[in-house]
Structure 1
Amino acid sequence: MTQKSKYVIVVSYDAFSIDNWESAKSKSNLAKLIENGASTNLVKSVYPTLTYVIHSSYVTGMYPDKHGVFHNNPFQPFVPESEQNWHWFRKDIQAPTVYEAAHKKGLTTAGLLWPVTGKAQINYNIPEIKAVKNENQALKILKSGSKLFTLQMELKYGKIRQGINQPNLDDFTTVCAVDTIKKKKPNLLLMHLIDLDDSKHLHGTQGAHIEQVIDRMDRRIGDLVQATKDAGIYDETTFIIVGDHSQLDVQYKVYLNRLFYEEGLIYEQHGAWHWRAYVQGAGGAAYLHVQPGDSDAERIALSILQDAKQHESYGIEAILSTQELNELHVNNQFRFMIEAKEGYSFGDDHLQEAIIDLHAQGKKYATHGYLPSKANYTSNLIISGNQVIAGTDIGEVSVVDIGPTIAHILNLDLPNTDGRALTEIFK
């Protein structure tokens, strides 16, 4: 088999979902890619629909029960969310990746704020990493990415960025990508743009702010396409624009650990907090953690959750059993998960009131994490390049198909994937 393209540019546009499709189709740069390529707004995600879980599925072509990343954050009970570590490092993925397959074949790779790539085998790498507590942001990125490349980009374009504020952060990522395409011509460029996800989280899924983000998104994609033309590689490049998950608007934030605290499953002893059972919130879903061997705690926790499920106000749609989790390819350390109803999401804090009405506080908020089968919850995919059959409707696909499709385009060896290469869209 030969390569379909010499170059692949993957833009993960976080939270680019079915409800943004009509708007995206009307924008000039996105419209051209759609017209000249294959597309769908029926991309099904993995569970829970969290960014780091999904990006690990993208690059491995595997479900979470194989690649091992089950949440954005490793389990850190009693640590406030703003202070928690995330799955920032490549070592957290327990499976081969498509960028390593490219590297093995002697191809040049680049990663720009791509999740779970700290200390990864990527030639030009600025990983997505955030300083927590007293860490130094610049130093942490330097230690975890490609030092010289990161320094060069920071010196040239650092003034564009204002911490992690949007739209500045995505503008920084885009100018770094343009520079990298022109100067380095990587065979595989993976980049993560977060403007849309941030905007939905902060202001909800509907409104003028969404249209503004999609305008900015279209401009950034136009800049990337132009960079390939300037570099003389446009005809040999395949563009993949993909949304990892949707978002749903939330009115009620629910803290189930408050119920566990009231029933003694979470308790204070000698000035420290301890837990027998603990709910790790994942937005629209949550994991039930139980101390190993404490079957009594599991029984009590399930009884509390079943009781809460009977009350509409806690927003529990389902308590998913081990068998259901196996069918969803959820990491097999978990026996139970909790799924929220639309309009509800789960947090961790055991000292918060159990139910917070965000609208009563004047807040707009949206999130993800919910079951991929939720109604109107799919995301978008555009694959465009000279070897793609123009105007193809891809139909229903999964996020685990992205890695195998990249491998197909670049003729790489990515074995034992759960997903499949979308071979039918190519000439």
Structure 2
Amino acid sequence: MLNRLTDHLIVISFDCLSSKDMPIVRELPNFKKLLDGAAVCENVKPIYPSVTYPCHTSIITGNYPNRHRIVRNTLIQPGKESPDWYWQRKYIQGTTLYDEAKKQNMKTGALLWPVTARAKIDYHIPEIFANRPWHSQVAVSLLNGSFFYTLEMNRRFGNMRKGIKQPWLDDFVTAVATHTIRTKKPDLMLIHLVDIDYQRHEHGFAGEESLSALRRQDKRLGKILQAIDESGNAEETTIIALGDHSALDVTHAINMNVYLQESGLIQTDRNGKVKNWKVYCKSNDGSAYLYVKDENDKPSTERLGALLHSLMQNPDNGLEKVVRGSEAAQMGADGEAAFMLEAREGFYFTEDMNVQPLVEIKPCDITSGKYCQAVHGYSPSKIDYRTVFIAKGKGIVPNVTIESMSLVDEGPTFARLLGLNLGETDGRILDEIILS
């Protein structure tokens, strides 16, 4: 074990906090307090695809998706209306920050941190939702997290939440987080707050609802900062605030599986349900994977290649780029896919069928032409598509500006602060902010 530089590491992920938010964030009182004297990067490059579960796994492993294998949010379940997500820790290949902390007998906590269900974490309410008619939200949380801890937190604060709806869910998580920081004093605490991301998916990137979510997150940050002070451990604590990806407004949905259906590569029954498939499009919103069921099925692969060539001839179809799986792997994505597709700005992919192949999203405000939906998942090469990293406290050099960094640099840096080692990672330790 390396020398430990901090006693308590609190990591708060503000899902979908973008570099473009910083002019507003810098004027919010609690973010302003955190930023004063902090090490800051407003140019954090996300991973590919830039969706929540791969991003959060890259944060706590220091590796790209093609190594930790959380390459998408959801499993490949063709035709399933609500596919299961990569909820459980078992899907991650390799070690994680919380695994290494537990090996050193550190007290660990995680609240709604993706891909942690059934992980060995002391104070743990995982991000998982009831995805079967016979499931209840409380039951799946109890069975996949810390049973008695979850029971106690729901007894204390459960009246604050309305299932998994926002903004009530983040209010619940914040109440649990502040109580845990004050009373349990974990060595490592991972907190995932989703309000901004939720509002942007529903109302667009810069809608009033998204701005309100930013203000609510500032208030939640203030409560967490207050809890750290009240814990008596403020001088021994490092606090990290970060985003996992940005988002872009969209005007059109590309329903790639409809093209595959029309080409005979997906067969459906009379009710429109998938009964057989040779190629399937798995959406990451701004990008998508194309999987060939049988890699030896040359006719289907050739038919798919011809379809993609045809679609790329017309920019109005919304496709910006098509790369082979081997090239996607070099960008950190899933090399097991036959192809990876990137959408043009304003377009995104769905897995829908029984609709038109290209669907325009109607403006929510006809007068202004304002669109009401923003998504992510795009390539990190998209212009003005970056997220944020803020670090302050024990072990951090104050007032450092990091010109640029990658999401995968965060895990190795967190490990170094706790005196841990994640092994050989794709990311680097941010030595320029470490007080040694």
TM-score calculated relative to the size of structure 1: 0.97
Q: Which residue of 2 aligns with 1:317?
A: 320
* Structure 2 Cα separation of the partners of residues 255 and 149 of structure 1: 43
Give the letter aligned to residue 117 of structure 2.
Answer: G
Equivalent pair of 2:110/2:123 in contact (CA under 8 Å):
yes
Q: How does 1:75-114 map to 2 (within 5 A)?
A: 75-80=76-81, 83-114=82-113
Aligned AA (1:45) = P
The one-letter code sitting in structure 2 at the alignment partner of 1:165 is K
Alpha-carbon distance in structure 2 between the residues aligned to 1:187 and 1:122: 11
Which residue number corresponds to residue 118 of structure 1?
117
- Report the Cα offset of residue 270 of structure 1: 9.4
2:427 maps to which of 408, 419, 423: 419
SS of 2:322 mapped into structure 1: strand
SS state at 1:279 partner = strand
1:376 lines up with 2:384 in the alignment: yes
Q: Give CA-to-partner distance per residue, 1:185-234, whole Å, 9 cap, x none.
A: 00000010000000111110113222211111111111111101111011
* Residue aligning to 1:160: 160
Q: Alignment identity in percent?
A: 37
Number of aligned residue pairs:
425
- Mapped partners of 1:306, 1:384: distance in 2: 50
1:346 counterpart SS class: strand
SS in 2 for 1:324: helix
| Aligned CA-pair RMSD | 1.4
Residues 173 and 193 in structure 2, CA contact (< 8 A), matched pair in contact too: yes
Q: Which residue of 2 aligns with 1:201?
A: 201
- Please give the alpha-carbon distance, in whole angstroms, between the structure 2 residues aligned to 1:115 and 1:333: 22
**Alignment partner of 2:36: what SS?**
helix
Partner residue, 1:343: 346
Deviation track 1:289-334 (CA, whole Å, cap 9, x = no partner) reads 1122212111111211221122222200000123421320212212
1 CA distance for matches of 2:228 and 2:206?
Answer: 33
| 1:26-425 map, 5 Å | 26-80=27-81, 83-134=82-133, 135-268=135-268, 273-292=275-294, 293-359=296-362, 364-425=372-433
Task: Name the CA distance, whole Å, in 1 between partners of 2:232 and 2:31.
Answer: 21
Q: Return 5+ residue gaps in structure 1 as ranges.
A: none
Cα deviation, residue 359, structure 1: 2.0
Q: Secondary structure at the match of 1:286?
A: strand
Cα distance, 1:19 vs structure 2: 1.0
**C-alpha distance in 2 between matches for 1:321 and 1:402:** 29
Question: Shift in Å at residue 361 of structure 1?
Answer: 7.5
Tell me which amino acid in the other structure corresponds to 1:204: G
Are residue 5 (structure 1) and residue 13 (structure 2) matched? no
Deviation at 1:26, TM superposition (A): 1.0
Q: Which runs of 4+ in 1 moved over 6 A?
A: none
**SS of the counterpart of 1:387?**
coil
Is the CA contact 2:327–2:335 (under 8 Å) kept in the aligned structure 1?
A: no
| Cα distance in 2, alignment partners of residues 341 and 215 from structure 1 | 31
Looking at structure 1, the residues matched to 126 and 224 of structure 2 have their Cα atoms a distance apart, in angstroms, of: 19
- Counterpart of 2:39 in structure 1: which amino acid? A
Q: Do the aligned partners of 1:40 and 1:381 also contact (CA within 8 Å) in 2? A: yes
Unpaired runs of 5+ in structure 2? 366-370
TM-score, normalised by the number of residues in structure 2:
0.95
Deviation (angstroms), 1:269: 6.1
Q: Secondary structure at the match of 1:219?
A: helix
Q: Secondary structure at the match of 2:251?
A: strand
Range that drifts further, 264-273 or 102-111: 264-273
**1:246 & 1:33 partners in 2: Cα distance?**
21
CA contact (8 A) 2:326 2:335 kept: no
Contact kept, 8 Å, 1:36 with 1:385, in 2: the verdict is no
